[in-house]
Structure 1
């Protein structure tokens, strides 16, 4: 597999020239599911889905770094139980220092010419998900005047809307840390980022609060985790997404749209439709699918991410 790295990376060599320096350099579909490599500027992030010895990890990281011409490579160990162990084994899953090469606490990388702040050693999630690039591009091209970005993380979708035609963008997340990171992303593009556009707190609570206020939006973006533990209990997308869709529909303006995303390989597009549609109907809204957005050319044959645009009556 290591011998194939130059060939695999060469397939993406045109992306930086097109203004994208953050992308999937090698996808799991190309490595029999053993590893993936994300490229962020001069830094790589190696995700391992198989057990290797420390020496083998370093050897693979070095091979990736040299093949891609990188300064350093960080390691993310992703066993099947990683989502459950993230809080108790964080430093083992995501070592803060590179496994090979030079350290980069922060990297500014481009996506379609837009700069984003990447922190390769910070956590399992490094600040942006490359597979959602087509969805962010769609938001930038189609965003209406008012947008609500739920589960905002570092506000990639909110920034995309703000760079488009949106006059008001509200980013909602349960973490103050990632919302502040989002404000940093806004600043990289020279955009004003007032605190009241970054709403801290439980997304479900904020949906109810906005509905009581009578606030509505021309586009609501839903990008929840597939699994999460919180004070309200355990969230499982396959069980709870319909309830989320109903809350989103309640704050979507007539004729508005909802962008629904789910990163879950075990959920088919048909099953995802069966989650979302009843939720919209529960809110008394009829929806039709207008677009199903892919994951981009650097994720060949990928089926894990569903990104579907619904137009509501």
Structure 2
């Protein structure tokens, strides 16, 4: 197993030299859907999508660690029902300690030269989604004056907007913990991170509040989870994305843009774009143009991520 793994990893080795030390070393399309390996510097994160015995898990972990010359490797078990089990089986899904080598509570990595804090043992999510790297780079290269980054998580999109020159960037998330993590990421780049730019609360509530105040933005970024439970009920992207898009369009300036993302293998690109167009129609906005972004060269054959920039009238 080590020889083919080494060959796959070698195809991505140039990314580190180009200023990206966090990337996917082996994608599921290269393992018949069984596993993926993400690299955060010398720390690896092995994601399992197949049921393996404890012995098979350890053998695979050792093979990955050896092929990538890692100092430590963490395990994430990602069965189809993981999104429902996360709250009741968290430590089994995402063991806090490495299954191989040294423990590293935090790792500072680079993405196109921008530093981010990764916490490989903290949860199923590490602090950054590598497949959105091209979309974050697009935001950095095309920053308008006013940006609203919703479902901000650790604020990677907001940080890139500020680095690109945006004058106003607001990051919205329902977790104070991840917003504080985002402020840490800002600090790594030497940027001011006032609390007023990190808005805690439900994204839908914030859309209503911003709309009532008459606040508008030149770019609104939508990067919601595919599934979530909240006080207002259950969010399902395949059902609710049109409503979300309509609310985003209501606070988008004339001639502005909406960047829509969805990480959901069960939703086709055609269905996703149809939902977005329905949302724009509901808001009385017309699409003038659209640009589709991919998941990056380290995700060959990936179809799970949909990322589209929409220019509105």
**TM-score (norm. length: structure 1):** 0.99
Compute the displacement of 1:54 (Å).
1.6
3-state secondary structure, aligned to 2:162: helix
Structure-2 residue corresponding to 1:231: 231
Give the distance between the partners of 2:289 and 2:64, measured in 1 at CA: 40
Compute the displacement of 1:3 (Å).
3.7
Structure-2 residue corresponding to 1:139: 139
Cα deviation, 1:16-62, whole Å, max 9, x if unaligned, reads 00000000000000000000000001100000011112222111111
Which runs of structure 2 are paired with 1:32-111 in the superposition (5 Å)?
A: 32-111=32-111
Between stretches 266-275 and 26-35, larger displacement belongs to 266-275
3-state secondary structure, aligned to 2:51: coil
Cα deviation, 1:35-94, whole Å, max 9, x if unaligned, reads 000000110000001111222211111111111111100000001100000000000000
Give the distance between the partners of 2:311 and 2:51, measured in 1 at CA: 44
3-state secondary structure, aligned to 2:257: strand
Give the distance between the partners of 2:51 and 2:3, measured in 1 at CA: 20
Structure-2 residue corresponding to 1:177: 177
Give the distance between the partners of 2:49 and 2:122, measured in 1 at CA: 19
**Is the CA contact 1:2–1:60 (under 8 Å) kept in the aligned structure 2?**
no
Compute the displacement of 1:2 (Å).
4.3
Structure-2 residue corresponding to 1:196: 196
Cα deviation, 1:178-233, whole Å, max 9, x if unaligned, reads 00000000000000000010000000000000011110000000000011111111
Compute the displacement of 1:270 (Å).
1.0
1:304 aligns with 2:304: yes
Compute the displacement of 1:287 (Å).
1.3
Compute the displacement of 1:288 (Å).
3.5
Structure-2 residue corresponding to 1:163: 163
Structure-1 residue corresponding to 2:211: 211
Give the distance between the partners of 2:49 and 2:283, measured in 1 at CA: 40
Structure 1: gaps spanning 5 or more residues:
none
Cα deviation, 1:218-254, whole Å, max 9, x if unaligned, reads 0000000011111111000111000000000000000
Compute the displacement of 1:290 (Å).
2.3
Count of paired positions: 313
3-state secondary structure, aligned to 2:14: coil
Cα deviation, 1:84-127, whole Å, max 9, x if unaligned, reads 00000000000000000000000000000000000000000000
Structure-1 residue corresponding to 2:283: 283
Structure-1 residue corresponding to 2:122: 122
Structure-1 residue corresponding to 2:293: 293
**Is the CA contact 2:142–2:164 (under 8 Å) kept in the aligned structure 1?**
yes
Compute the displacement of 1:289 (Å).
3.8
3-state secondary structure, aligned to 2:137: helix
Compute the displacement of 1:309 (Å).
0.4
Compute the displacement of 1:157 (Å).
0.3
Give the distance between the partners of 1:55 and 1:289, measured in 2 at CA: 52
Give the distance between the partners of 1:3 and 1:31, measured in 2 at CA: 13
3-state secondary structure, aligned to 2:154: coil
Give the distance between the partners of 2:268 and 2:207, measured in 1 at CA: 27
**Is the CA contact 2:289–2:312 (under 8 Å) kept in the aligned structure 1?**
no
3-state secondary structure, aligned to 2:249: helix
Structure-2 residue corresponding to 1:113: 113
**Is the CA contact 1:154–1:185 (under 8 Å) kept in the aligned structure 2?**
yes
**Is the CA contact 1:90–1:123 (under 8 Å) kept in the aligned structure 2?**
yes
**Is the CA contact 1:25–1:39 (under 8 Å) kept in the aligned structure 2?**
yes
Cα deviation, 1:243-275, whole Å, max 9, x if unaligned, reads 000000000000000000001111111111110
3-state secondary structure, aligned to 2:285: coil
Give the distance between the partners of 2:204 and 2:116, measured in 1 at CA: 27
Structure 2: gaps spanning 5 or more residues:
none
